[in-house]
């Protein structure tokens, strides 16, 4: 899509710094330069203000990705694109089948109302909850990783959704530090949210999370 739109070697393309390293790789394969923008703390999608901050005279395009089933703020990003004459691409992550979306939303609503000790996803219109991603309070990665190990020990198959900022990955490294991306990498944890989950499985997960969550206090 970038090639057909006329992106050429040497052009800059703004890409997410959180997740989807394949987007930055695709830009680099064209000989263009991936420029990383920070994410919004609630959606984990590109922050339009952060996009505006990194646009230069060499910027040719912006690629936004919907994250964990939460929609990117495409309207604001397109407005920035129009202001600067940029190509704006908004791509979906692979998603759940439509028949599973309502079930996921129902499970997410149940979890939102019962989990404590972790930061639950901020509800938003159109959210399909492809992953149910919480934030673990405390001292960042050490506490998040300890929390995840304890949950797995209780039979909850949680995962770390993004292991590192894209700008720290081999072949894509840049000397930047984006605070919301760093926090998201260090604090987020994806809890299982399958359409075939039984109520007892969800209740077991809530009990396990709540028993652990009260042990962790935010660092000041």
- pLDDT one digit per residue (tens) for the chain, 220 residues: 888 888 999 999 999 999 889 999 999 999 999 999 999 999 999 999 999 999 999 999 999 999 999 999 989 999 999 999 999 998 766 555 666 899 999 999 999 999 998 999 999 999 999 999 999 988 889 999 999 999 999 999 999 999 999 999 999 999 999 999 999 999 999 999 999 999 899 999 999 999 987 544 444 3
Q: How far is CA 176 from CA 38, 71, 158, 163, 167, in A?
A: 10, 25, 29, 17, 7
Q: What angle do CA 114, 119, 121 make, to 5 degrees?
A: 85
Beta strands in the chain (DSSP E): 12-16, 33-37, 59-65, 87-91, 132-135, 188-191
- Tens of pLDDT, residues 132-143: 999 998 888 999
- pLDDT of amino acid 214: 53
- pLDDT of amino acid 139: 87
- pLDDT of amino acid 218: 44
- Tens of pLDDT, residues 43-85: 999 999 999 999 999 999 999 999 999 999 989 999 999 999 9
């Amino acid at each position: 899509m970038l090639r057909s739109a006329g992106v050429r070697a040497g052009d800059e393309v703004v890409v997410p710094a959180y997740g989807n390293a394949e987007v930055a790789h695709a830009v680099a394969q064209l000989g263009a330069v991936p420029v990383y923008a920070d994410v919004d703390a609630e959606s984990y999608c590109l922050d339009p203000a952060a996009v505006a901050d990194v646009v230069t005279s060499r910027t040719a395009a912006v690629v936004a990705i919907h994250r964990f089933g939460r929609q990117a703020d495409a309207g604001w990003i397109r407005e920035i694109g129009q202001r600067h004459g940029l190509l704006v691409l908004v791509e979906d992550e692979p998603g759940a089948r439509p028949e599973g979306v309502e079930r996921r939303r129902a499970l997410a609503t149940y979890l939102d109302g019962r989990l404590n000790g972790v930061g639950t996803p901020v509800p938003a219109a159109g959210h399909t909850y492809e992953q149910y991603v919480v934030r673990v309070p405390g001292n960042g990665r050490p506490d998040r990783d300890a929390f995840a190990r304890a949950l797995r020990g209780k039979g909850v198959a949680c995962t770390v959704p993004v292991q590192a900022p894209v700008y720290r990955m081999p072949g894509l490294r840049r000397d930047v530090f984006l605070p919301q991306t760093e926090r998201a990498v260090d604090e987020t944890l994806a809890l299982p949210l399958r359409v075939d989950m039984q109520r007892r499985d969800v209740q077991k997960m809530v009990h396990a999370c709540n028993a652990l969550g009260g042990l962790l206090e935010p660092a000041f």
